[in-house]
Every structure is written in structure tokens, then in C-alpha cells.
Amino acid sequence: MIEVTNENFEQLLPSIEETIRMASFVAIDMELSGLNASPALKPTLFDSIEERYRKQRETVNRFVCCQFGLTCFKRDPFVNKYTAKSFGFYLCPRSLGESRSKRFAFDASAVEFLSDYGLDFSKVLNAGIPYLNEEEEYSLKQDLANDCLIELSKQTTAEFEYISSKITKWIASFENDKKQEWSESFYVDYVPSVNDFSNYLLIKELRRNFKNIWIKTTDDKGTHQVVASRVSKEEYTRIALEAFKDEEFAIKRSVGFSQVVRCLIETRKPIVGFNMMLDILYLYNDFYRKLPRKLNTFKKEFVELFPETYDSKAIFNNSKKYYPEMTDLFNARSLEELYQILRSKEFLSRFLYQPVIESESTKGKEPETLPHDAGFDSYASGYVFIRLAHMLAMKDKGITKEAPTWTDHLRAVNEFKNQINLIRATVHFLDLEKDDRNSIRPQWLVVENRDKSEPLSISKVRLEANF
């Protein structure tokens, strides 16, 4: 798995986009900073789809995606083989000047959960990749175009004052000493912020402050410097065009990870996940546009962006009917369990023409099982998707002479396209393309202890079922 932080994102982006373009489908997974904004917003067995959407919209508004896993699967056209390339992106919202700063929440139990499964939070908060959705990007561009006041952060203000005083002294010495050449430049060491946009604002503010001095930054082997160069008025006007490019680049860096999601939208690749209701809400809200109030609006717009979404969990739940005898398989309770069963010799040998699934990121070796690492989980979701699709493709075939193609696999799961699994609700999945069935609350709910020797406590039932 390739780990991507803000330090290598810019450099890797072109090859990531290329990998997406070449993919047959893209599997995703997210690790979130929390799930339930408050106990009242916990999913219950009696949630209608609209209620669930309303609750999860609150989750999306409060918590953030800390780690975004993306695995591109490519079917080899000549061999019965899928190649997988996995990326784990660490994300963190960054401010756009002191007053445009997002607040986001962590749930202590989510922090422990992710810590226990090995997430390093310095990669998230110290080195995360920023992102903006379209609305945020638009509003930033408007503010920049209208030259609205964007205040420097406290630490950038300190850098600004330090560098300004150095440059001012340099100019004074220069004016006193007529012998120096006009072209001479002056270098000041500086410590860039983890927020690239703050670094841009610093340069912009320095340029505003010193007329006829051109300000740039250089980065030579990790030594960051501000370069001030004395230029003529004519030259200044010419060079000043650079400022537009710098601004465009600063905006691009702030849009950050959303560029990857935009590439998914542009290429209209099938998206695969596992139990991905929250994932698709985050995909829309954080990287495209604020979630609409109405579920139906969301569904319509989401399908326009991502015409083919497959939730491996929904496929799994609904394939049971075709293979009722495979009790071991259908007892799997988590992505990890399912993944382990589907890669067992026992399962693989049940169906002919099992495609090879090769992890390119680990040079062909099986990737290390790292449950709840978004990169690994996206790989496992895609792996599960292929194995289930193959199982379904083989269901009517019996003994054939040729291995199913990618088209065959896709056709086999077509009935599950755009069906998103729902946990604990009145219906089992959300269909992005059809009107949802009326959700009918059961008239009676029969509750009994698994251990029938113990008496049933109504308070325990209430706590467990959360109603």
C-alpha cells in the first residue's frame, strides 16, 4: 500500500490519476473520526431510510474522514487476472486564513479504535492532505478575486514580521551602498507552515508590502528560503503575472484530495465499497457539495456523479439465496472474516476459473492483513467484490470452456448495482435509482435472551436496542 500524506501528494497525483484512468473499477474505504454525533443519533432498528439519512448527515457535518483508502483494480484483457494498486490517503481540513477555519470532532471511542488498529494520528493531523468541496473552492476563489481580507494565521503573521524586518534592513543597506547591482537577490530562511495556503498568503502579503521587490520561495534540499529580488518597474509588471499562477497553484493545493475524487467522477469508474452508506455521504459532502436536505435529491445527484456503485456487503447479503448451502461463507460477520473465507483454498476450489488477484503495491505478494486500515480495507472490499461477482457469474454456467470476462463479472452483479447496504433499519438497503420501499415498522418485536436461563431485563434491552 502506498501511503500518501501532504508531503508526497502533489508528486504522486499524476500517477494516481493515471492509475484511476486505467482501472476497471475502484474500491474505496474510509476511516472516520466518529460515527454518532450524539446518542440520540445512533442508528436504531426502527429508522426509516429518511431518518437514517438525517442522522448520518449530522455525522458527516461533525466528524471527518481521517484516512481514505483507494484501490484501483484493473482486469488484464488477455489473462484471467486482476491487478490491484492501493493507496492510503491521510486527510485533514486546513484553514484558509485565520477566520476561515473548520471545526471538526473526534469521538474518543473512534480515536481508540483507530489507534488500536494502528492508525498514526501524526499522519492525519500533522501531515494530512487538505480538501475542499466545490462550494468551498468557489467561495475561496470569490474572496481572492474580490481581494477580501484573508487574515494571516498567528504563526504566519510572526513569520511575516520576521521576514519583513529582514528585507527592510536589506533594502536600507542596499540604498546606502550604491555600488551593488540591481539584480542582486536576498535570501531569508523561513519555516513553512503545514498549511500550504498559509505559505501562499505569506508570500502574497510580502509582495503587497514591498513594491518593486519580487518575492519568491525556494526549497533546496529541505532548506526553505524567501528570496527578495530588486527588479525594475517594467520587469516587475512582467513578473507579476507569476502571481496569478501562484494563486492558481495555491488553490489547487487547497482543493487537495478532492482532485482524486474529481478524477473518479470524470472517469465514471464503477465504485466499490463494503457497507458504504456513510462513505458515499462523505464522498459527496466533503469532496463535491454539501449534502442536500432531501434524500431523494441526494440519490439523484449521486447517481449522476457515480453512475455505478456496488456495495459488496449488499451483494453478499443478497447472494445468500443462490447458495443457501454455503453456511460458512454466509456466517461471516465482518469484511475481514469474509475476506479470509473468500481467499481460503476451500472456497477458491469450489468455482472454476477463479481469477488471479494480484496486489501490485506489494509486488505480487499477498498484502498484509491490516483490518481497519483504509488502504487495506479498500483492497479487501474490491477483492470480496471480485470473488462474489465470480461466484454469481458461475452460478448459471456450470462447466464452460472460458473464464468469465470483466463484462461477465459486471453483468453478474448488475442486479445489485446502486444498492447500498443499511445496518439496523426497517429496510436492508438503499436503492439509489429506485424509489424506496415504504418502510413498515413491525407491529411486535419479540426479544429473548440467548442464554434462556437468565431473566430478561427491560433496561438492558432498551440500552442494547437503543430505542
Q: Which residues bind its own copies (CB under 8 A)?
A: 34, 37-39, 62, 92-95, 98-99, 101-109, 111-113, 115-117, 119-122, 124-126, 149, 151, 153-155, 191, 193-195, 198, 459-460, 463
For the CB of residue 55, give the shortest distance to its own copies in the complex, in Å: 15
Residues near 408 by Cβ (< 8 Å), separated by ≥ 6?
Answer: 393
**Pairwise CA distance, residues 245 & 251, whole Å:** 10
| Cβ nearer to its own copies, comparing 164 with 229 | 164
Closest contact distance (angstroms) between CB of 241 and its own copies is 26
Least Å from the CB of residue 122 to its own copies:
4
Residue 28, C-alpha cell as written in the block: 474505496
Cα separation, 247 vs 147, whole angstroms: 12
Kindly give the interhelix angle for 335-342 and 374-394, rounded to the nearest 10 degrees.
50
Task: State the amino acid at position 429 in one-letter form.
Answer: F
| Shortest CB 3 distance to its own copies, Å | 14
CA angle 213, 218, 222 (to 5 degrees): 150
Q: Which residue's CB is nearer to its own copies, number 90 or number 416?
A: 90
Helix (H) or strand (E) holding 363, with range, is none
Task: Between 113 and 187, name the residue whose CB sits nearer to its own copies.
Answer: 113
Give the number of other CB atoms < 10 A from CB of residue 172.
10
Element (H, E) at 450: none
Query: Cβ of residue 12: shortest distance to its own copies, in angstroms?
Result: 21
Closer residue to its own copies (CB): 308 or 336: 336
Which residue's CB is nearer to its own copies, number 160 or number 186?
160
Question: What letters, b where the CB count within 10 A reaches 16 and e where it falls short, cover 315-332?
Answer: bbbbbeeeeeeeeebeeb
CA distance 73 to 71: 6
Q: How near is the Cβ of 354 to its own copies at its closest, in Å?
A: 29
Q: Which is nearer to its own copies, 427 or 461 (CB)?
A: 461
